[in-house]
Amino acid sequence: MNAADLSEGTDAKGRGPRLLFYLRLVAAQLAMSTLTALQYRLGFWTEGLLGLLWSVIGIAPLFVAVDHLGAVEGWGRWELVVLTGCFTMLSGLFTALLQPALRASMTHILKGTLDYVLLRPADGLVLCLTCAFQPWHLVEVLGGLALVVAGLSLGEAEVTATGLLAGLVTGAAGLMALYAFGVLVLCASFRALQLQALTHVMEALMDFGRWPAQVFPPLLRLLFTFVIPLLVMTSYPAEALLGRLSWGTVAQLAAVSATLLVLARLAWVRSVRGYTSASS
């Protein structure tokens, strides 16, 4: 074999569509994280137990309080349960997928091992956003989903196919906004190292998403919709599921998320071009 056929087996004719490649890549990254979690048995079960415990701790007060909940700014008790479900799902996705990936990527930047990530023949951002995963935190997502189903079933709001579709679209927009915000935080760590604490700030900020948009004064509502779009992530998807959101608003929220995504992508490209690696 010589240089001409060194890349044999990795040439273009053997490769499938890019979407399939990225699906396989993300699956392989998640598999690596799962294998890491399974590598240490005690750690695996402890993580699992803690994941369950956090889910129960997060949801239990709601069950205690549900009988005593009055209306909050036009939201009935079961509607608040739907909102809490949306929040719990998003929080679970954050702690299972985004937060560990951001922390691992920031560590890569700090130690200079981002070099290896950037040398792989795939989109560096996709590799960074899927490089770590805490599978047990997906329990929270299931818990949140159960709350949404319970809230919709037991509440008075009429559940329609259009409402569900609007909820899905708004939820997807919320998730995109969350990831875009995460990418901007990651890009900040290219300039200022040791910014892992920012992921905790993100986590703390997300707590505002527990509340309906209507409880915030207009200025904060604008801030949490267009600048730090926490309400796009939780309150608006809940409203959409409850059939209270117009398609015009859904489109606006999707536009906000898309704009954030474009900004995040531009910031990433700029950050990588300015990347100086760490000296060895």
Q: Which residues bind another protein (CB under 8 A)?
A: 1-4, 6-10, 12, 14-15, 21, 24-25, 28-29, 31-32, 35-36, 39-40, 111-113, 115-116, 118-122, 124, 273-277, 279-280
In the complex with another protein, which residue's Cβ is closer, 193 or 222?
193
> By the 8 A CB rule, do 94 and 88 touch?
no
**Rounded-to-integer distance, Cα 7 and Cα 216, Å:** 58
Other C-beta atoms closer than 10 Å to the C-beta of 135 total 18
In the complex with another protein, which residue's Cβ is closer, 101 or 230?
101
**Rounded-to-integer distance, Cα 268 and Cα 126, Å:** 11
In the complex with another protein, which residue's Cβ is closer, 153 or 276?
276
Least spacing, CB of residue 82 vs another protein, in Å: 39
Three-point CA angle 185, 189, 191, nearest 5°: 125
In the complex with another protein, which residue's Cβ is closer, 37 or 220?
37
Q: Is 206 exposed, middle or buried (0-12, 13-18, 19+ CB in 10 A)?
A: buried
Least spacing, CB of residue 205 vs another protein, in Å: 25
- CA torsion angle for 176, 225, 234, 177 (degrees, to 10)? 10
Q: What is the 3-state secondary structure (H, E, C) of 114-169?
A: HHHHHCCCCCHHHHHHCCCCCHHHHHHHHHHHHHHHHHHHHCCCCCCHHHHHHHHH
Site of tokens 């489109």 = 251
In the complex with another protein, which residue's Cβ is closer, 46 or 277?
277
Least spacing, CB of residue 34 vs another protein, in Å: 11
In the complex with another protein, which residue's Cβ is closer, 24 or 255?
24
